[in-house]
Amino acid sequence: MYNVPPQESEKVHSNNINGTNDEILARQCIQELCKGWPVYRDFSEWHNYRSLFTKEGAYVWTTWSGGLSIEKFIEVSIAGRARGDNIAHRENGVLANVNLKTGRGIGKMKATITQRLTMQGIPFDIDCDCRFIFFCKLEGKEWKAQYVKLFYEKDKVVPVDGKTVPDFPKEELAKYTQGISTCHGRMDPRQGHQPLLGVDRDRDTNAAKFKPRMQLLDAKIVQ
């Protein structure tokens, strides 16, 4: 299931292309924050990775971690890598929206999370297409990410030799949300992670909920 509503998904519009020099530079700064995730996190550049986020109150939401402060997220990421997690991110495209009047911006990164695993003696990859949404703000004169939320779209198993993959019992995968069941349902528990159950995939219901929540947030920002 491709988790995108058929109707217009962006209800509140801000500068996204062209614009003034200040808007162009701001969008570039936000895009750098997005690009920093795969470049820094994949190679354990934790100091640089932490610098992408606000000094205080920064949070990350994923299906395997739930919502964690950036400090805790880095901590569990380091622990996972020490256990042998073999995860990388392929950036597929990045754009940004910015509102200089409110000092707020949104970074949008299309990416593929890829993970090398071995099960039943068979090496294979699991690829998960997703969208990273970076909720950014001006901190002093610097753009920083305060919240990052991942939206997972679909996953698949990729045979390393082009033909052989392990057996994935349907009854085990059925416990997890369609579209991310293979990636998060089957593999994360084996690596010490407990993925979230019941991740909502009702795209139309969620789209309807998003607008009033964003309007409330915008009202608080203006105040």
Q: Residue 137 in contact with residue 103, Cβ under 8 Å?
A: yes
Exposure on the CB side of residue 58, measured as CA atoms within 13 A = 23
What pLDDT is attached to residue 185? 46
Cα–Cα distance measured from residue 44 to residue 70, given in angstroms and rounded to the nearest whole number = 14
The pTM assigned to this predicted structure is 0.84
What pLDDT is attached to residue 168? 80
Q: Residue 96 in contact with residue 27, Cβ under 8 Å?
A: yes
Cα–Cα distance measured from residue 88 to residue 114, given in angstroms and rounded to the nearest whole number = 5
Q: Facing residues of 154 across strands?
A: 129
Please give the sequence-ordered ranges of beta strands (E in DSSP) within 57-141, or none if there are none: 59-62, 66-69, 87-99, 104-119, 122-139
Cα–Cα distance measured from residue 18 to residue 31, given in angstroms and rounded to the nearest whole number = 14
In DSSP notation, 182-222 reads: IIIIIIGGGGT--PPSS----HHHHHHHHHHHHHHHHHHHH
What pLDDT is attached to residue 16? 94
**Top-level class of domain 21-222:** alpha beta
Q: Can you list the alpha helix ranges (DSSP code H) found in 37-95?
A: 46-50, 70-83
What pLDDT is attached to residue 167? 84
Q: Residue 136 in contact with residue 105, Cβ under 8 Å?
A: yes
- At a CB cut-off of 8 Å and minimum separation 6, what does 48 contact? 36, 40
Tell how strand 104-119 and strand 122-139 pair up.
antiparallel
pLDDT in tens, the chain (223 residues): 456 777 888 878 899 999 999 999 999 999 999 999 999 999 999 999 999 999 999 999 987 888 999 999 999 999 999 998 889 999 999 999 999 999 999 999 999 999 998 888 999 999 989 999 999 999 999 999 999 999 888 888 999 999 999 888 777 777 766 656 555 545 555 555 565 555 555 555 555 565 565 555 555 544 4
Q: Check residue 164 and report its DSSP letter.
A: -
What pLDDT is attached to residue 32? 98
The pair of structure tokens assigned to 39 is 């470049």
- The domain spans of the chain are 21-222
Q: Check residue 25 and report its DSSP letter.
A: H
